[in-house]
Amino acid sequence: MKRFAVFASGNGSNLQAIIDALKKKKIAAELCVVVSDNKEAFALTRALKAGIPTVVVDPKAFKDRTAMDRAIIKELKAFHVDFVVLAGYMRILSPDFVKTFRHKILNIHPALLPSFKGAHAIKDAFTSGVSSTGVTVHLVDEKVDHGPVIAQEALKIKKADTLKTLEARIHRLEHAMYPKIVDRFARKLSL
């Protein structure tokens, strides 16, 4: 069984969806560690509650991104991690990190990439007036919100949608999609 880490900086609702799917044996892999760059992240509470080890890495303790990611790589090696699942991790990974886990880092983005990159994708889509947006899961490369798309689902923006309702609908879609894609990815890696 492949082993993976989830990286999260905040709420961790996608982490929770993954934990719930694991409990139901819907993901053929083992979540062995949750990594955060934010000791206040609610994602850490979720991990602790599920009995999953956590690693907190304080960005201020390192001279640069490369040094920080080196420390994370060391931790991941100790946990024998095969692949990495980014779930609301608000940091750009160093080229070193991407190279170490080349084609083994997944990210979820709340828009249809390459549209609406960045940290405010739902709001940007909503205010731009597009008639649909969606969710993308992709492999991470050296560029931000970039890399081979492995799954994409569209969602129509309804006339009655407010930013709040659209956010809720996007998150629901993410929570349905991500555990499935993680499972599919883990099974492919195991072949």
Give the catalytic positions in this structure: 109
Closest CA to 125 of 117, 1, 169: 117
- Is 88 or 147 the residue whose CB approaches ligand GRF more closely? 88
Is residue 174 close enough to count as binding ligand GRF by CB under 6 A?
yes
Among 8, 29, 47, 157, binds ligand GRF (CB under 6 A): 8
Around 5, how many Cα atoms within 13 Å sit in the side-chain half-sphere? 26
Is residue 179 close enough to count as binding ligand GRF by CB under 6 A?
no
Positions in 24-43 near ligand GRF (CB under 6 A): none
Is residue 110 close enough to count as binding ligand GRF by CB under 6 A?
yes
CB of 58 to ligand GRF, least distance (A): 19
Rounded to an integer, what is the distance from CA 147 to the centroid of its chain? 14
Is residue 109 close enough to count as binding ligand GRF by CB under 6 A?
yes
Amino acid making up residue 34: V
Rounded to an integer, what is the distance from CA 9 to the centroid of its chain? 10
Is residue 147 close enough to count as binding ligand GRF by CB under 6 A?
no
Among 4, 13, 46, 68, binds ligand GRF (CB under 6 A): 13
> DSSP assignment, residue 114?
T
Positions in 89-108 near ligand GRF (CB under 6 A): 108
How many other C-beta atoms are found inside a 10 Å radius of the C-beta of residue 179?
Answer: 21
Closest CA to 178 of 10, 12, 3: 12
- DSSP three-state, residue 90: coil
- Is 82 or 174 the residue whose CB approaches ligand GRF more closely? 174
Residues at the interface with ligand GRF (CB under 6 A): 8, 10-15, 87-88, 108-110, 174
